[in-house]
């Protein structure tokens, strides 16, 4: 009997415990639901009643003024970063992701990082003290977290700086993504870090620069090495204190090991060999002579290199989303053209780019045809500014250089005799003629031109001035890209075209009759400007900033204004 009573008492006690637990559970769920609903109302109210003013959260401006409202409207203003009425694990994942912004040359503090951490700590302290969570502060946290993801994501995707605000001729295609949709999916799958990482360029060149940036920042501070001063005939055989400074800087940069020379002021063979290696790594003429361009490169500090990498990581974020499985890449600052197929550089050659006052623009296009033995239709500005003065100095200039002169344009134009014109009476604002140069050895376009129609009227072509390719800095053109091996490029482009092997191309050139050949497979062309860039082997190379663009970009990159 006693045992039966005990069993009944135990049964009722268990029922009471279960009921209490269920009551606690539903009470807790109800509280969490109440908190989430209160936060939802705060979000909705702020979105609907801004009065045209910028939305703020915890005294910080919310910058994603279009994407963030759309994100919350699509979810009925319900909180995105709360779970059971409290911050979810996605919050810490976002904090970790923002903490890596420095690896992209960006500043983590510009993405609300400090304020987000403060709010998360505040919420954790209230939870520990069993204080009620403030819906207004949770709404602040919501806005800051979502804005951080959307703005940081936008900067990884397309750059922090709008290129056209500092480089009007930078018109390469932009990378795009639906960031609110990406954020919603990342929160659903708990993949916030992975989602942000996917927005950055995935190219080996970009990752190589990231790796070097991390190495330079993590390296222990090195003892300062004095700058190398200029010297006359600063080459093999020179003796002076400048040599000791050069030796020290090349050793610090890893280009010079121990040598047997006791007198550090003597410019010996081992120093010359080290200097040539250094010059080659910078794309300079590897002549072993420490001239002005080499001095500038040698005296670069790690701080300068970090700045250059940051600037060029940003430029990579300006690149088109898909370069193409096969494409042509021209780096203006490197005076270099490469044909890339499936990530492998199949063809490379030297290039000549625009002068300082006729800079080659940055843009992307599609090469659709090439012209063998082309005529050169002289752009009006070049005819007025360059060719007219030459004709005024030498009355035979046009005839000697195989220029045809036309009066008028279009169907009504007619060829005239250059000798019939009083050239000295004309000027840059009074030049009613069109110039056309015949095909041949002296033609400014050389043997072949490669066309990718664009608003800049820029294209790739040969040149009769092949001696210029021997120079290390090759900005001599009027904006177009002249290349060292046009026959090789044509052979690659026509490799699948019946009847167009190298011999056929050379025969067509020798005929000196203009011939247009369309490509069965157009190829993307990307004309870019990189003063630091990685290669497929993971190495990073630096080049002189020939157009003086880095400083302006870095100033914009370090501005607190978001884009």
Identify which of 370, 368, 369, 366 has the alpha carbon closest to the alpha carbon of residue 323. Answer: 366
Burial class (CB in 10 A: 0-12, 13-18, 19+), 338: middle
**Is 461 one of the annotated active-site residues of the chain?**
yes
CA distances to 347, 354, 365, 457, 526 from 171, in Å = 25, 17, 10, 13, 10
pLDDT at 557: 93
Catalytic-role residue among 104, 155, 461, 526: 461
- The Cα 460–Cα 339 span in angstroms is 13
pLDDT at 222: 62
Catalytic-role residue among 91, 155, 480, 526: 480
CA distances to 235, 240, 302 from 225, in Å = 20, 17, 11
Work out the pLDDT band at 467, boundaries 50, 70, 90.
very high
Q: pTM (2 decimals)? A: 0.85
Work out the pLDDT band at 53, boundaries 50, 70, 90.
low
pLDDT at 22: 37
Is 321-547 CATH 2.40.440.10?
A: yes
The overall average pLDDT reported for the chain is 88
pLDDT at 97: 97
Identify which of 460, 489, 166, 201 has the alpha carbon closest to the alpha carbon of residue 332. Answer: 460
pLDDT at 51: 54
The DSSP-derived string for 480-494 is SEEES-HHHHHHHHT
pLDDT at 52: 55
Tokens representing 59? 């005294």
For residue range 15-38, list pLDDT tens digits in order. Answer: 444 444 433 433 344 445 677 788
Neighbours of 440 (CB within 10 A): 14
What is the domain partition of the chain in residue ranges? Answer: 30-200, 241-298, 321-547
Three-state DSSP state, 348: strand
User: Residue-wise over 124-155: b if at least 16 C-beta within 10 A, else e?
Assistant: eeeeeeeeebbbebbbbbbbbbbbbbbbbbbb
**515-528 and 326-331 beta bridge pairing:** parallel
Neighbours of 191 (CB within 10 A): 16
User: Can you give 46-101 as a three-state secondary structure string?
Assistant: HHHCCCCCCCEECCEECCCCCHHHHHHHHCCCCCCCEECCEECHHHHHHHHHHHCH
Q: How far is CA 436 from the centre of its chain?
A: 37
Residues 6 or more apart whose CB falls under 8 angstroms from that of 309 comprise 105, 209, 212, 213, 216, 532, 540
For residue range 374-394, list pLDDT tens digits in order. Answer: 999 998 888 998 999 999 999
């Amino acid at each position: 009997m006693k045992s039966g009573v005990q069993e009944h008492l135990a049964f009722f006690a268990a029922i009471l415990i279960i009921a209490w637990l269920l009551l606690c559970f539903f009470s807790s769920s109800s509280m969490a639901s109440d908190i989430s609903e209160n936060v939802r109302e705060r979000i909705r109210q702020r979105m609907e009643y801004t009065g045209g003013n910028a939305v703020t959260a915890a005294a910080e401006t919310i910058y994603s003024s279009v994407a963030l409202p759309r994100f919350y409207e699509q979810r009925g203003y319900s909180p995105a970063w709360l779970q059971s009425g409290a911050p979810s694990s996605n919050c810490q994942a976002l904090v970790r992701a923002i903490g890596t912004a420095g690896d992209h040359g960006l500043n983590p503090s510009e993405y609300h990082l400090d304020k987000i951490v403060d709010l998360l700590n505040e919420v954790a302290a209230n939870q520990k003290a069993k204080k009620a969570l403030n819906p207004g502060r949770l709404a602040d946290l919501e806005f800051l977290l979502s804005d951080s993801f959307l703005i940081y994501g936008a900067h990884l995707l397309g750059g922090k700086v709008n290129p056209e605000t500092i480089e009007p001729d930078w018109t390469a295609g932009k990378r795009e993504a639906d960031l609110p949709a990406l954020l919603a999916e990342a929160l659903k799958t708990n993949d916030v870090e992975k989602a942000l990482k996917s927005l950055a360029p995935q190219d080996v060149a970009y990752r190589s620069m990231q790796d070097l940036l991390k190495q330079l920042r993590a390296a222990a501070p090195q003892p300062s090495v004095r700058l190398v001063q200029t010297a006359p005939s600063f080459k093999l055989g020179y003796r002076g204190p400048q040599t000791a400074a050069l030796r020290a800087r090349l050793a610090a940069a890893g280009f010079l090991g121990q040598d047997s020379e006791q007198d550090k002021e003597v410019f010996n063979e081992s120093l010359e060999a080290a200097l040539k290696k250094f010059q080659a790594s910078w794309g300079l003429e590897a002549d072993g002579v420490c001239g002005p361009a080499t001095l500038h490169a040698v005296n670069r500090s790690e701080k300068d290199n970090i700045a250059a990498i940051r600037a060029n990581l940003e430029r990579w974020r300006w690149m088109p989303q898909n370069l193409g499985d096969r494409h042509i890449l021209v780096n203006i600052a490197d005076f270099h053209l490469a044909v890339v197929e499936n990530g492998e550089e199949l063809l490379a050659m030297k290039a000549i780019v625009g002068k300082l006052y006729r800079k080659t623009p940055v843009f992307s296009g599609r090469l659709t045809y090439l012209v063998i033995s082309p005529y050169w239709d002289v752009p009006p500005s070049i005819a007025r500014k360059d060719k007219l003065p030459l004709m005024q100095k030498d009355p035979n200039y046009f005839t000697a250089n195989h220029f045809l002169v036309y009066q008028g344009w279009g169907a009504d134009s007619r060829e005239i005799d250059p000798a019939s014109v009083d050239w000295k009476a004309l000027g840059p604002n009074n030049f009613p003629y069109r110039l056309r140069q015949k095909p041949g050895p002296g033609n400014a376009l050389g043997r072949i031109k490669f066309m990718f129609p664009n608003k800049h009227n820029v294209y790739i072509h040969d040149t009769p001035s092949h001696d210029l390719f021997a120079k290390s800095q090759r900005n001599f053109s009027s904006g177009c890209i002249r290349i060292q091996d046009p026959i090789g490029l044509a052979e690659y482009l026509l490799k699948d075209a019946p009847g167009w092997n190298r011999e056929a191309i050379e025969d067509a050139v020798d005929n000196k009759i203009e011939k247009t050949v369309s490509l069965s497979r157009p190829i993307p062309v990307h004309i870019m400007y990189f003063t630091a860039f990685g290669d497929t082997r993971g190495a990073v190379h630096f080049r002189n900033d020939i157009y003086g663009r880095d400083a302006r970009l870095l100033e914009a990159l370090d501005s607190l204004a978001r884009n």
